[in-house]
Amino acid sequence: MGGTSAERDVSIASGLRIAAALRSRGHEVTSLDTATGVIDTETERELLGAGVQQAPPDLEALAAMTKKSLSPSLGTLPAVRQADVVFLALHGGQGEDGTLQALFDLSGVRYTGTGPLGSGLAMDKDLSKRLFRDNGVQTAAWLMAPATANEVQSALGFPVVVKPSKQGSTVGLTLVRDAGGLQAAIDEAFRYDDEVMLEQFIAGRELTVGILGNEALPIGEIIPKHELYDYECKYTKGMAVEEFPARLDSATAARVQEQAQLAFRALKLRGYARIDFRLDDSGGCFCLEANTLPGMTELSLIPQAALAAGMTFPELCERIVQLAITEGRT
């Protein structure tokens, strides 16, 4: 958990909750921050009390932490080498883009979730949308920066969503309503990534589908207090309403779940993931992205989807571990 991406706080909250859940099922669990090392019981309590802040961590602080990161030697640490399964609760950065997964594959370490290829494909929103399109998954039109306001108006129209191409939790994302705000939004997104996507804004309902093994979990609908389901709405109590299952007719629900499973297969994912959609007023279903290591905090979506399917959070965590054992390559 933890790490040095802009989603560090979310990752710690996810990881600590997972650790507690697995301990409640009788497992021996060691908590490990890839930036600082093994987390003792006292530090766990302190981190639990801190929770997720309303804004991502400061980029300069993360850069300083990166210089001390343990990531290059993770495959040799006793806590990792001696584990039956490493449960990845990292979000963003090298923890989710396939880098760490490749390191573990080389080290013969079994871990939860998707392997290096699928992780990299899902993290890169440009590549993932190309694969969606080629595999029958409808997705919103997009351009990659640099792009002029005239090009955006011609290809996408305003408003557009400007976001880092390889980032999560809506970090660095801006909804741009007219040409005047375009460049500032692009500059903000470039603070978090070396590639920036400009995506057609799809007005409508925000839906999410958890995939567990080969099964699509009940669809959820997110109704945020802000126009977009941004960082604050995701991690602040009371800033969004989530309905599981979503109020959809059976035909629409089946179509969205089918699209989620198609997206899961198109990106060569395994274990579990969360696939996000927009449903417009005419019933069009547009896949936004796939999350290979979705949030597991008390406000996160895939635990709510599992609960709607009759699965408690500890049961969900244990099921993910079991999938790592049956589907893992080591």
Tens-digit pLDDT profile for the chain (330 aa)?
Answer: 998 888 888 899 999 999 999 999 999 999 999 988 899 999 998 888 766 665 566 666 666 666 556 667 788 889 999 999 999 999 988 889 999 999 999 999 999 999 999 999 999 999 999 999 999 999 999 999 999 999 999 999 999 999 998 876 567 889 999 999 999 999 999 988 899 999 999 999 999 999 999 899 999 999 877 666 666 666 677 777 899 999 999 999 999 999 999 999 999 999 999 999 999 999 999 999 999 999 999 889 999 999 999 999 999 999 999 999 998 654
Determine whether 298 is an active site residue: no
Q: Residue 177 catalytic?
A: no
Residues 92, 291, 300, 318: which is the catalytic one? 291
169 is catalytic: yes
Collect all residues with Cβ–Cβ distance below 8 Å to 115 and sequence separation of at least 6. Answer: 98, 101, 105, 268, 270, 329
Q: Is the pTM of this model over 0.75?
A: yes
Q: Which of 105, 124, 230, 289 is the catalytic position? A: 289
**134-171 burial by CB neighbour count: b if 16+ within 10 A, else e?**
eeebebbebbebebebeebeeebebbbbbbbbbbbbbb
Long-range contacts, 120-125 (Cβ 8 Å, 24+): 121/267, 121/268, 122/267, 122/269, 122/273, 122/289, 122/290, 122/291, 122/292, 123/96, 123/97, 123/98, 123/166, 123/292, 124/97, 124/165, 124/166, 124/195, 125/163, 125/165, 125/166, 125/197, 125/289
Distance separating alpha carbons of residues 75 and 70, to the nearest angstrom: 10
Is 274 noted as a catalytic residue in this protein? yes
For 220, the token pair is 């959820």
Among the listed residues 199, 221, 276, 318, the single catalytic one is 276
Among residues 2, 3, 5, 7, the one annotated as catalytic is: 7
Active site residue 281: no
- pLDDT tens digits, one per residue of 294-310: 999 988 999 999 999 99
Domains and CATH numbers, the chain: 8-112 (3.40.50), 122-138+203-327 (3.30.470.20), 142-200 (3.30.1490.20)
Pairing state between β 215-216 and 160-164? unpaired
Catalytic position from the list 120, 169, 193, 272: 169
Question: Catalytic: 5?
Answer: no
Q: Indicate which residue of 8, 235, 272, 278 is catalytic.
A: 235
Q: Burial, 247: exposed, middle or buried (Cβ in 10 Å; 0-12, 13-18, 19+)?
A: exposed
- The active-site residue out of 8, 17, 270, 274 is 274
